[in-house]
Amino acid sequence: MGERIYSLDAMRIVAMGFIVMIHTDPFQGVGTLGNMVNFAIKTTARFAVPFFFVTAGFLFALKTADREPTAYLKKRVASISSFYVFGLALSAPVFFIGLVGSEALDGRPLAPAAIETVAAFLSPVELLYYGTSVSEILWFLPALAVSFLLVYAFIAVGKPGYLLPVAAAFHVVGLLGTNYTMFVEVPFEIRDGLFFGFFYTGLGYTIAARDWRPSSDRSRRYLAATGVFALAQFGEFYALGYPLRGEAFGAYVYAPSYGITTALLTASLFLFLLSRPQLGRGTPLPSWGSYAVGIYVCHPVVFAALRAGRELLEAAGYPLAATLGWHLLSTPATFFGALAVYVLASKLRVIEIGGTHWPGEPWLRAIRSG
């Protein structure tokens, strides 16, 4: 597969749209029907983050097929780290002001609230491993870096054949610790690189390393399988969120994490995209795919600002959260607002789209060369 796979590039921006919808909760609280629609959206959208892990692993195998993988690993980890630092630099001031301001409104002194917030932001494990110290949404980036390191470890010791079975075993523990806690209680956080990202990155790597080239003649079968597994995932999360809890469907929104069917849905979708590598060519979607991770790191700040504005208006007597207009506009406003912030950061030479995302490095480089 030496040619460009337009379908994967196009799906990046589509998947990013689904990730934004997971966080903006469209139609939640707009009656029972609204809660049902939100649940369906959040359920369907769960393929999005796994898709990025699978794609990363797939490209890891392709890029290192005929060369030593260490250089590529270093390049990718440096790139992921720069995105993460940029996301932290963007998010920390906004979330700091929001958390401290909330404590102040509750009557607590500012100094203790500020110290506690900074201490939480600098928690080593949360900051460097889980990626949740400032914004929980940024967890994907440290998890991806850890996943790359784990995949590389199996390559380095010459045991790539053991990669996927071992990763799957860890992922089973991860599933038990999220949706299937009725069977076993896992006493630690498992949405991370080891128990989650490792499996999906390993899956992508294995697909490429074994030179699995889905035929275009079977693309309809892969697409049908994707639809079947999407319905199965809906059924799995419906059972976990409502009947097993004794809750009426639509009475509230069960926020699903990831399930058994998520892997099947993600794999079938990925194989469909590989079977149709030209899908999306001739549209803007493949070129927009290069903005996907930038939108990801910028959208927590944009949505936090939108939510703060909504809360201020609600305090003034305008109940926006229950209006259809807010739910129709919040997702596109978050998506395109994040895109605007990302492009603006590039224009100001804070980061370099397609290059470094260490905050300010392009600007400093221009000063030094000027």
Write the pLDDT tens digit of every residue in 142-185.
999 999 999 999 999 999 999 999 999 999 999 888 877 777 77
Is the pLDDT at 1 greater than 70? The verdict is no
Range 198-210 average pLDDT:
97
Domain membership of residue 253 (yes or no) is: no
Q: Which of 29-38, 191-200, 272-281 shows the lowest per-residue confidence on average (mean pLDDT)?
A: 29-38
The pLDDT value given to residue 164: 97
The pLDDT value given to residue 2: 59
Domain membership of residue 1 (yes or no) is: no
Q: Work out the pLDDT band at 370, boundaries 50, 70, 90.
A: low
Full residue range of the structural domain in which residue 310 is found: 6-248+262-369
How many structural domains does the chain have? 1
Domain membership of residue 255 (yes or no) is: no
Token couple for 58: 């797939």
Domain membership of residue 347 (yes or no) is: yes
The pLDDT value given to residue 329: 94
Rg of the chain, C-alpha, whole Å = 21
Please give the Cα distance from 280 to 213 (Å, whole number): 19
Domain membership of residue 303 (yes or no) is: yes
